[in-house]
Structure 1
Amino acid sequence: MQKELLVTGSSGFFGSALINRALKRGWFVKGTARHSLGILSEQFGVDINYLDLSKDTISIPKANYIVHCATANEIKSLDLFKSIDSTIKGTKKLIEYCLENRFEHFIYISTVGIYGRELNGEINENSPFQANSNYALNHYYAEKICERYASRNFKVTIIRLSNVYGIPSVSTVDRNTLVPICFVVNLLRKGVVELNSSGLQQRDFINQIEASDIVLNSLNNQKSNFDIINASSGKSYSIIEIAKIACQEYSKFSGKVGKITSMPDKNNYENNYSFSSKAYKSKDKNLEYLSINETISELFKIYNALI
Structure 2
Amino acid sequence: MKKVLITGGSGFFGEHLAERILKENNEIVIFDINTPSEKIKNYVKFISGDITNKQEIMNACKNIDLVYHSVALVPISRAGDLFHKVNVVGTRNLLEACLINRVKKVIHISSSSVYGIPREFPLKEDSELRPFGEYASTKYQAEEMCMEYIKKGISITIIRPRTIVGEGRLGIVGVMFDWMRRGKNIYLIGSGKNYYQFISPSDLADACVLAAKKNYNEVFNIGAEQYRTLREDLTALADYAGSGAKVVGFPSSVIKSGLWVLDVLKLSPFVYWHYMTIDKNYAFDVTKAKNMLGWKPEKSNFDCLKEAYDWYLKNYKNLKYGNTHKSVPKQKLLKIVRAFS
Q: Same fold, TM exceeding 0.5?
A: yes
In 2, are the aligned partners of 1:246 and 1:296 still within 8 Å (CA)? no
In 2, are the aligned partners of 1:202 and 1:238 still within 8 Å (CA)? yes
TM-score normalised by L of structure 2: 0.75
Name the structure 1 match of 2:49.
Answer: 51
Comparing both structures, which one devotes a greater share of its residues to helix? 2
In 2, are the aligned partners of 1:121 and 1:274 still within 8 Å (CA)? yes
Structure 2 residue 285 is matched with structure 1 residue 275: yes
In 1, are the aligned partners of 2:17 and 2:205 still within 8 Å (CA)? yes
Closer/same/farther in 2, CA of residues 227 and 238 from structure 1, 3 Å limit: same
Question: What 5-or-longer segments of structure 2 have no aligned partner?
Answer: 256-278, 320-341
In 2, are the aligned partners of 1:119 and 1:273 still within 8 Å (CA)? no
Question: What 5-or-longer segments of structure 1 have no aligned partner?
Answer: none
Q: Deviations over 1:63-111 (max 9, x none)?
A: 10001111111223x3331111110111001110111111111111001
- The alignment's C-alpha RMSD in Å is 2.9
For 1:303, give the aligned amino acid.
N
Structure 2 residue 239 is matched with structure 1 residue 241: no
Partner residue of 2:315 out of 278, 303, 306: 303
Aligned partner of residue 289 in structure 2, secondary structure: coil
Which shifted more, 258-267 or 25-34? 258-267
Q: How many correspondences in the alignment?
A: 290
Name the structure 2 match of 1:93.
Answer: 93
CA distance in 1, matches of 2:38, 2:85: 25
Q: Deviations over 1:3-32 (max 9, x none)?
A: 121111112111111101111243332211
Comparing both structures, which one devotes a greater share of its residues to strand? 1
For 1:17, give the aligned amino acid.
H
CA distance in 2, matches of 1:152, 1:74: 31
Closer/same/farther in 2, CA of residues 270 and 301 from structure 1, 3 Å limit: closer
Name the structure 1 match of 2:73.
Answer: 72
State the percentage of identical aligned residues. Answer: 21
Name the structure 1 match of 2:266.
Answer: none
Q: For 1:14-163, what aligned pairs fall within 5 Å after superposition?
A: 14-37=13-36, 39=37, 43=41, 45-55=43-53, 57-58=55-56, 59-62=59-62, 63-76=64-77, 78-151=78-151, 153-163=153-163
Partner residue of 2:193 out of 196, 200, 204: 200
Partner residue of 1:260 out of 247, 257, 268: 247
In 2, are the aligned partners of 1:162 and 1:231 still within 8 Å (CA)? yes
CA distance in 1, matches of 2:187, 2:115: 26
CA distance in 2, matches of 1:303, 1:104: 39
Q: Deviations over 1:103-126 (max 9, x none)?
A: 111111001221123452342111
Name the structure 1 match of 2:212.
Answer: 219
Q: Note the C-alpha offset of 1:56.
A: 5.1
TM-score normalised by L of structure 1: 0.82
Q: Deviations over 1:182-234 (max 9, x none)?
A: 42222224634244554333222111111111110011123x4x211111223
Closer/same/farther in 2, CA of residues 56 and 4 from structure 1, 3 Å limit: closer
Aligned partner of residue 201 in structure 1, secondary structure: coil
CA distance in 2, matches of 1:131, 1:144: 13
For 2:236, give the aligned amino acid.
I
Closer/same/farther in 2, CA of residues 176 and 123 from structure 1, 3 Å limit: closer
Aligned partner of residue 199 in structure 1, secondary structure: coil
Name the structure 1 match of 2:264.
Answer: none
Aligned partner of residue 107 in structure 1, secondary structure: strand
Q: Deviations over 1:235-274 (max 9, x none)?
A: 33333233212211211xxxx3113344311499653765
Q: For 1:150-189, what aligned pairs fall within 5 Å after superposition?
A: 150-151=150-151, 153-168=153-168, 175-178=170-173, 181-189=174-182
